[in-house]
Amino acid sequence: MDKSTSTNTDVTTEDATPQKNKKANFTTTVKFETPNGEVFTHAFDVDFTISSVKHQLEGMLGVPCEKLLLLHYEELVADDENLENLKPDQYGILKLKILTEGDTYTINVHNVYKDLTVPDIITVHVDTEDEGGKDVVVEIENRAIQKPNLGGYRHVTTGVKYFHGYTQTGPLKPKVPPEMKNHRDTQTYFIRHRRTDMEYSRATQVATKDIYIPNLSDRIITSGPYETADEREKRLDVIGKVRTIQRYYRVWKLRKAIKELSEEYRKRVRLQKEQEERERREDEERRKRDIISKVFPITPTDFAMLYTLVDRWKNAELARISATHCGPSKIAEFYLVLDKEVDILRSIQNIRNKVAKDLEIKKTLDFFKSIGTPVEWYSEYKHLHIVMDTLETQRGREYFALYKDLTDKTLSREAKLEMYLRVKEYLNTHACDKGRQIIVLIDRACELLVRGMDQKYLESLHMRIEAMVVRHFQTPECNEGVTAHVRNEQERNMEKNLLYCHRCQKLKTIEKFTLNARMDAIKICSSCRWLDKAEEPWIDLAPYRFILRQIRNYERLHKATSSVAFILQDKDIHYIMTYIWHGHSALSESTDLYKLRLCRWKVQEEWSPWNCILLTVEEARAHLDIKNLEDVYEEEFINHVFNKHALAKKHFSQLVSYDKHFAEFAGDDPRLDDDSDFYKGNEADCLFGPIE
């Protein structure tokens, strides 16, 4: 029997010692330990000598008996020594260490059990109390299932065969033996028990007087003409019908493919038209925003645009005067240009002062909105965004409503008196100096209103009351803890977020500093940089900011993993376009900023300053469709672009470490996932390149 099937056998025993007190043959089990720590066992008679054991081991291990050495307790055993003299233990087990003489032969334990088979009939010696011992003949029956050949594979190099596995466990035995089961369809026709005549199909086909069998539905069937197999095959025409089905199936499949391709073509044409329309609309809106920003400047970027235009106009006028005038007339023209420049700068400064006043009002409104906004924080538990509306935030909204009534210019005299009365009732609950001062001013304003004084004479008094009420709301000792969470948040932001400005010598948060990817240290704040334009001239960053936004949207749509495009700022894009690519397209040398784009040089790699090229919109679209750059561009142009990339890599040498830092910092934050609620993508600004 095969060794692999010995685990699923049945054993039957038969007594082999009918005579009482029959003497049994005693054996001992010898455990052989090899030098590498492997162990194998074998049973020998106790009267075996070491020489006999070596002869048996020679056949098992394939090592000559003259080369085998047996040690018992680290002592060499002679060949004429008997196993019984080595004194096995009480269980008949003897431990020996086996060695080989020299390095010619090695002991492989696997050769011992390679050809070992289990006999079908074995004799087992059983010790009994009454008889002393008896031998029992055990017959081993092989009931293992026959494993089917499921195929396999053969290693081409080594020739080893690998067969598909199959379970060695057969199905469970049925609860009811197969011979006790009898499952078949019933031979009786199911008929409902009703008092009616017997069915015609089940009636007895015997013509008697007792039973009437109608023959109206009977048919006489006669045999038709004999049809051979060839005639039948020709009549059925199976092959022709199969050809017809295949022909119609091919036509249907072709029509379906044409329909899908036509739909895809129309879809791509529609998307292309939408993209062109979106590009045209975005360009118009951008130009419109630039015009509005020049006429009605609000942000520092708008004023920087105006100052840039003034510098550009002044340089053009100086160049014109230098080319057309000389001597005293030239000096006079310079004076006229200087007067015009001073007038323009004075007008811009007046606009800035008006905007500063509006920003003060906006700052006050932002303060009231901040104290009235519910407290929000991000919880790492289940990544929840928690919003809590406290009593302080509700009180802050009440302050905001009171302030809006106080600053309402459309109130009548009676409504203004009622409003002052509400403010006075609120201030009576606070015993502070500021509150008492406001009450005195309110009493004065109410008295003047009652006496019928015109509103224009009370405007300064109203503004003073408004300013003192706002200051009262901002004072922590007077506002009932409304600004506590805002102040705590500001303190938390300033704990590890303060930097020292070497110019104004103040500590400011990092938001007050202008950053770019080429900075080694942060030294000067944004306010000081704005005032000192000798070091940094005026730059209109609006076009570069638009180009940077397009780059980020393109990288986001193409699932870029690098954060280089999101680390760079608009000043970095200005540096790349102005000082590396010299402000014109690499192919057509177009200098129109509204038509230039920084796209990928190698489309398969992510965007970076050393993997970009400055092209127009049309050139960028055509470039992004190129699969192999060497097939389109000449070697001289490729080397030119390579030099630009080397220069960019030198100037932005720290960008790689920044990118690595942000990648490690982000980790698996779900808020940075594109599919999460924290991220809102924008596809409108990506005006070049296919969207995959």
pLDDT tens, residue by residue, 88-135: 887 788 888 888 887 778 888 777 766 555 556 677 778 777 766 777
Query: What is the largest distance, in Å, between two alpha-carbon atoms of the chain?
Result: 153
Identify whether residues 547 and 656 lie together within a single domain: yes
Provide the percentage of residues in the chain whose pLDDT is more than 90: 18
Indicate the pTM of the whole model: 0.55
Identify whether residues 551 and 623 lie together within a single domain: yes
Identify whether residues 571 and 507 lie together within a single domain: no
Asked if residue 79 has pLDDT above 80, the reply is yes
Res. 679 pLDDT band, cuts 50 70 90? very low
Residue 680 lies in a domain: no
With tokens 């000389």, the residue in question is: 326
For 272, the domain range is: 255-293
Identify whether residues 431 and 309 lie together within a single domain: no
With tokens 């060499």, the residue in question is: 76
Nearest by Cα to 573 from 552, 554, 555, 559: 552
In total, the chain counts a number of residues equal to 692
Classify residue 378 as left (phi > 0), alpha (psi -120 to 50) or beta.
beta
What is the C-alpha to C-alpha distance for residues 594 and 543, in angstroms, rounded to an integer? 7
Total number of domains constituting the chain = 6
- ∠ CA 338-342-344, nearest 5°, is 115
Q: Report the range out of 91-95, 374-378, 492-496, 603-607 with the highest average pLDDT.
A: 603-607
- Res 182: pLDDT: 67
Which residues make Cβ contacts (< 8 Å) with residue 69, sequence separation at least 6? Answer: 76, 98, 99, 100, 101
Identify whether residues 558 and 427 lie together within a single domain: no
DSSP string for residues in 347-398: HHHHHHHHHHHHHHHHHHHHHHHHHHSPEEEEETGGGEEEEE--HHHHHHHH
- Res 101: pLDDT: 84
Identify whether residues 287 and 334 lie together within a single domain: no
Residue 625 lies in a domain: yes
Reduced 3-state DSSP string for 677-689: CCCCCCCCCCCCC
Question: Could you report the per-residue pLDDT of 376-423, keeping only the tens digit for each?
Answer: 888 877 778 888 888 888 888 888 988 888 888 888 888 888 888 888
Q: Which CATH number characterizes residue 22's domain?
A: 3.10.20.90
Cβ–Cβ under 8 Å, residues 550 and 521:
no
Torsions phi, psi for 332 (to 5 deg): -65, -40
- Res 677: pLDDT: 47
Identify whether residues 545 and 525 lie together within a single domain: no
Identify whether residues 565 and 661 lie together within a single domain: yes
What is the C-alpha to C-alpha distance for residues 660 and 562, in angstroms, rounded to an integer? 9
Residue 272 lies in a domain: yes
Residue 688 lies in a domain: no
Provide the percentage of residues in the chain whose pLDDT is more than 70: 83
Q: How many CB atoms lie within 10 A of CB 490?
A: 12
Identify whether residues 363 and 410 lie together within a single domain: no
What is the C-alpha to C-alpha distance for residues 499 and 524, in angstroms, rounded to an integer? 10
User: pLDDT averaged over the chain?
Assistant: 81
- Res 392: pLDDT: 87
Amino acid residing at 648: A
Question: Could you report the per-residue pLDDT of 552-582, keeping only the tens digit for each?
Answer: 888 888 888 888 888 888 889 999 999 999 9
Residue 385 lies in a domain: yes
Question: Could you report the per-residue pLDDT of 338-351, keeping only the tens digit for each?
Answer: 999 999 999 999 99
Residue 598 lies in a domain: yes
Nearest by Cα to 473 from 375, 415, 377, 406: 406
Query: Which one of 119, 142, 165 terminates a domain?
Result: 142
Identify whether residues 548 and 667 lie together within a single domain: yes
Query: Which one of 474, 508, 530 terminates a domain?
Result: 530
Asked if residue 24 has pLDDT above 50, the reply is no
Residue 185 lies in a domain: no
Q: How many CB atoms lie within 10 A of CB 618?
A: 13
Amino acid residing at 441: L
Average pLDDT rounded to a whole number, residues 65-70 = 87
Structure tokens at 258: 């044409």
Q: Could you tell me the CA-to-CA distances from 189 to 140, 201, 202, 205 in Å, in that order?
A: 52, 11, 9, 18
Res. 510 pLDDT band, cuts 50 70 90? confident
Nearest by Cα to 125 from 12, 11, 17, 6: 17
Residue 522 lies in a domain: yes
Identify whether residues 460 and 552 lie together within a single domain: no
Nearest by Cα to 307 from 579, 541, 528: 541
Helix (H) or strand (E) holding 473: helix 459-474
